[in-house]
Amino acid sequence: MAKHITILCDSSMLENKRKGMQWLVGTRTMPCTVISVIHCLRLNAGYPDIQAESAELRILLPKGLEIVGALLNEVGELEKARKIYEITMEVALAVNGDDSCKKSGLIIACLESADNQSLKFYHGTSQSLNTVESVVHPGNPGAHLWKKMCLLRCKLHIQLPLYASGFDNPSDYSRQLEAAFSNLIKKLRGDALYCIVEGSSTTPRKVVSGIFKDSDNFHQSGNKSHTTQGDSQCSDFCPSSVFTSSHGLQMPMPLNFVLLIHQSLEKGINLAPFAEYLPANGEAILRVLNLDLDIISVAHRELSVHEAISSLILTALTDQLYAMRDMLLEEIPEHPELCSYVFCPPGFAHPISCIYNLNYGESEFKTVEWRKLLHQRLSLPMDRPLLRRANALSFTQNEFGAQKQGTQRLSNVHVNMPTSSGVVGGQCSLIHGSYEYYHYLQDSFNDSGWGCAYRSLQTIFSWFKLQNYTVLDVPMHGKIQEILVKIGDKEPSFKGSQNWIGAIELSFVLDELLGVSSKILNVRSGAEVPEKCRELALHFETQGTPVMIGGGVLAYTLLGVDYNDTTGDCAFLILDPHYTGGEDLRTIWAGGWCGWKKPVNSKGEEFFLRDKFYNFLLPQRPNTI
């Protein structure tokens, strides 16, 4: 059919040499265009498992984006392309929500020949599949896409009460669960639904109601013309501002939709307080399901607002609700909390969505396995976190403007420091990435004299937080003590005390909160510390995490070493948690609270004491996702 197709993603995405099937993603409003590529993961006897595959893709892809074809990393003649077409059509029908792809056809890509690994594209319907003559790669694909399209977003927090006469009875539980969800979905599809459309402060607001009055016609006729008379378009409200994802892609700020249910309209006029009576056979338990929905859709700028709500926003919400219900049917957690997140992983010109079960910690096996699958689907590197909660898009323009309570800490205080290490011809190895400087007396908490190791732990923790390994808050002293009691390392009386902790305790806390393991380096005397320089340099080069030094009654944070292999000359970049002053860089530098320390300074004073035993805690950077 089509002579040309347009590719709006990195060609590296298409050239992924992994075997197997990949789905081509596009949108019906930009025909014959590939926007991204997603691996097929769920197989059944070598073929895509249509049901499992489509269920996952419906959540992953924003509404408005669809399966428009497939790519198989195998040599494919027309005959083979036809076969792929049939399988892909089944998945497309299940994912896209209607059968318009039967008319518009699919794009099928295979390898040219055994010697020529370049891609060959076919396009058309089952009967008219033909070789595509040319493939166009416009420069700046993101701009090409977002010139025509806009982002829609809707966040919804739902607390769904569930009464059951015993959660031990699975059939009772699933019955209740299913009823609760269908009730909820009915409300979303009812007459009482109102929707506020919010662009930005400079664009108008609009309240839309009666969404389902005439939308049924629209669904049945499959009439996708973008405008209906008198109805406003998304572009009337779209904010003109853009945001930049962490890998540098610019996308328009989304248009927000706020959903409201008109309660009195639903129950009858003049609603009085009422109580609902739910008879139970025995003792009943109330469990509140916490559902946090965050949906993102991609719409043509000229799409009418009514259609955007009915065909994109509500469909996406319904899909997410069904997916959450199915997750809850699988198991019954104590305090169910399901949350969806929007990400824009590197290589993608559009966002994607995932639902996480917050009953599992981020480093728990189940969560990690799930993220691994998602990384595979999206061909993301397997050695760094990209789909953790800390990576999720929040779309707030000045996220760092809204400061939390407590001390406003300095970060990366060693950067641009005026003094040098004094090592001649040394090789300088420093931490990779950012940290915050935690020290005595911060947050109006007087830990002077006992809290130095706690502060060092907080600095290390902040590094993991700023590198997006966690969304947890940096733990305060009380929390750290609570963890040590909880894991059985300390007696309950330890909580609230002013007792010191050391490198071993730090490693327990890092393991418990972050799943991070640590190496501990023992040095019998301060005089032997310089011998460990090579090992420390290697740590900074390969792991790049801040190190805690515990020795005698003092704890320090180590940010790097400068070391000359030949002469043995060395210096240590120390960040000192014993600082009690304000957050002022000049004072910190001038006082040497952050600075290079030689084992013996110019006055002959030793930094590492000869008669003290030292422990170096080297947190290992998780080679995980």
Ligand X SMILES: *[C@@H]1O[C@H](CO)[C@@H](O)[C@H](O)[C@H]1NC(C)=O
**Residues in contact with ligand X by the rule CB under 6 A:** 112, 116, 118, 221, 223, 225, 228, 246, 390-391, 424-425, 427, 433, 441, 446, 448-449, 467-468, 564-567
Query: Can you spell out the DSSP letters for 385-406?
Result: -SSSGGGS----TTTTTSPPSS
Give the integer Cα–Cα distance in Å for 98 and 355: 24
* Minimum CB distance to ligand X, residue 603 (Å): 23
Alpha-carbon distance of 469 to 360, in angstroms, equals 15
Rounded-to-integer distance, Cα 258 and Cα 195, Å: 6
Q: H-helix or E-strand containing 254?
A: none
- Minimum distance from CB of 516 to ligand X (Å)? 16
The two three-digit tokens of residue 526, written as one number: 């301060």
Q: Which is nearer to ligand X, 255 or 423 (CB)?
A: 423
Cα–Cα dist 208/236, whole Å? 14
Please state, in angstroms and rounded to a whole number, the distance separating the CA atoms of residues 543 and 537.
10
Core vs surface per residue 118-132: b (16+ CB within 10 A) or e:
ebbbbbbeeeebeeb
> For residues 203 and 564, which CB has a smaller minimum distance to ligand X in the complex?
564
Q: Which is nearer to ligand X, 492 or 582 (CB)?
A: 582
Residue 105: how many other CB atoms lie within 10 Å: 24
Contact 618, 518 (CB under 8 A): yes
Q: In the block, which residue shows the tokens 């994912």?
A: 95
Q: 479-488 long-range contacts, Cβ below 8 Å, gap at least 24?
A: 480/454, 480/509, 483/508, 483/509, 483/512, 483/513, 484/508, 484/509, 486/512, 487/512
Nearest distance, CB of residue 137 and ligand X, angstroms: 14
Nearest to ligand X of 158, 428 (CB atom): 428
Two tokens, residue 580: 């009690």
Closest contact distance (angstroms) between CB of 120 and ligand X is 7
Alpha-carbon Rg for the chain in angstroms: 29
Identify residue 448 by its one-letter amino acid code.
Answer: S
Q: Which is nearer to ligand X, 232 or 564 (CB)?
A: 564
The minimum distance between CB 112 and ligand X, in angstroms, equals 4
Contact 362, 622 (CB under 8 A): no
Minimum Å distance from CB 391 to ligand X? 5
Find the shortest distance in angstroms from Cβ 292 to ligand X: 18
Rounded to the nearest 5 percent, the helix, strand and coil shares of the chain are 30, 25, 45
Q: Which CB atom, from 412 or from 564, has the smaller least distance to ligand X?
A: 564
- Transcribe 120-166 into DSSP letters: EEEEE-SS--EE-SEEE--SSHHHHHHHHEEEEEEEEEEEEEEEES-
Residue type, 399: E
Give the nearer residue to ligand X in terms of CB position, either 221 or 602.
Answer: 221
Query: From CA 402, how far away is CA 226, in angstroms rounded?
Result: 39
User: Which lies closer to ligand X via its Cβ, residue 392 or residue 529?
Assistant: 392
Residues 6+ apart with CB under 8 A from 214: none
* CB 385 to ligand X: min, Å: 8
Q: From the CB of 226, what's the least distance to ligand X, in Å?
A: 10
> Of all residues in this chain, which one has the CB nearest to ligand X in the complex?
425
The answer to whether the beta carbons of residues 266 and 190 sit under 8 Å apart is: yes
Quote the Cα angle for 42-44-48, to 5°: 55
Q: What is the DSSP letter of 475?
A: P
| Residues labelled catalytic | 452, 576, 578
Check if the beta carbon of residue 395 is closer than 8 Å to that of residue 253. yes
CB of 386 to ligand X, least distance (A): 8
> Residue 245 CB, nearest distance to ligand X (Å)?
7
Query: Which of residues 277 and 400 has its CB atom nearest to ligand X in the complex?
Result: 400
Q: Whole-angstrom Cα distance, residue 214 to residue 256?
A: 23
Taking the least distance from each CB to ligand X, the nearer of 328 and 570 is 570
Query: Smaller CB distance to ligand X: residue 144 or 578?
Result: 578
3-state SS assignment for residue 54: helix
